[in-house]
Amino acid sequence: MQDFWLFGYGSLIWKPPPHFDQRIPGYIEGYVRRFWQQVYFSEDHRGTPNAPGRVVTLIERSFWATLDDPQRRTERDVVWGVAYHIIPSKVEEVKEYLDIREINGYSIQHTPFHPADSSLASIHCLVYIGMPDNPQFLGVQPPQDIANTINASVGPSGENREYLLHLERALEELCPDSHDEHITDLARRVRALTPPLREIRRPPVHDNALRKVRSTEEQEEIEKEG
């Protein structure tokens, strides 16, 4: 049986599929990653049917060339992620698990994967892509609109912004070249919309007298913060 390798470029980077025995960072060519896929119901419930969140999909180079994407002039068609090798006896089980993703508008493609460690040979990988003809594909979106939607969307699996910020961090940790400007730009916009929790919790100085303090440690903490 042929080896089964799966390329992950979204949540699969930090949330691996079951039954893998190798995980290799690297990239594929001929695509860009975009938050242009709506999500109602999925493995990553980050929205609701009335207020769907956004998840990533890949855009093929030939289609991308026809679009008026503001980031097109500054970016190469390279997508960093992770290739997973699935234990041969578990391939059917993992395919069944992954096929659930197809229900959410993702289709299967095959593409060469290039390991970050250039001493390793290229690998033939399967990848799930939300193609332009799937009903949840949105096409080019103004980045600030995407950021506003991500910032506001919450579903049973948690906040949509958490998915974006996880992806940003997972890419930073992958290897020195794995930066994705589309992702860091959106993360910057989302952080600007909602400051970190520490800042949200910190009250204006003049409110200090009104705050209820439950313990001495908490009082000390408040004094340190102020």
Q: Which is nearer to ligand BEZ, 41 or 222 (CB)?
A: 41
CB 106 within 8 A of CB 178: no
102 part of the active site: yes
Give the largest CA-CA distance in the chain: 71
Site membership for ligand BEZ, residue 11 (CB under 6 A): yes
**Whole-angstrom distance, CA of residue 74 vs CA of residue 211:** 49
- Per DSSP bridges, beta strands 154-155 and 123-130 are unpaired
User: Alpha-carbon distance 175 to 28, whole Å?
Assistant: 14
Least distance from C-beta 10 to ligand BEZ, angstroms? 3
Question: What are 60's two structure tokens?
Answer: 């093929």
Q: Which residue, 113 or 128, is less far from ligand BEZ as judged by CB?
A: 128
List the beta bridge partners of residue 34.
57
C-beta atoms surrounding 86 within 10 Å: 23
Q: Which of 5, 12, 59, 126 binds ligand BEZ (CB under 6 A)?
A: 12
Among residues 27, 84, 113, 128, the one that binds ligand BEZ under rule CB under 6 A:
128
CB 12, CB 97: distance < 8 Å: no
Q: Does 5 bind ligand BEZ (CB under 6 A)?
A: no
User: Are the C-beta atoms of 18 and 94 separated by less than 8 Å?
Assistant: yes
Q: Which is nearer to ligand BEZ, 8 or 155 (CB)?
A: 8
Number of residues that bind ligand BEZ (CB under 6 A): 8
| One of 10, 26, 52, 155 touching ligand BEZ (CB under 6 A) | 10
Q: Using the rule CB under 6 A, is 84 a contact of ligand BEZ?
A: no
Is residue 20 a contact residue for ligand BEZ (CB under 6 A)? no
Residue 106 contacts ligand BEZ per CB under 6 A: yes
Instruction: Select the span of 3-11, 88-96, 173-181, 186-194 touching ligand BEZ (CB under 6 A).
Output: 3-11
* Closest C-alpha among 28, 54, 36, 19 to residue 131: 36
Annotated active-site positions, please?
A: 102
Which residues make up the interface to ligand BEZ (CB under 6 A)? Answer: 8-12, 101, 106, 128
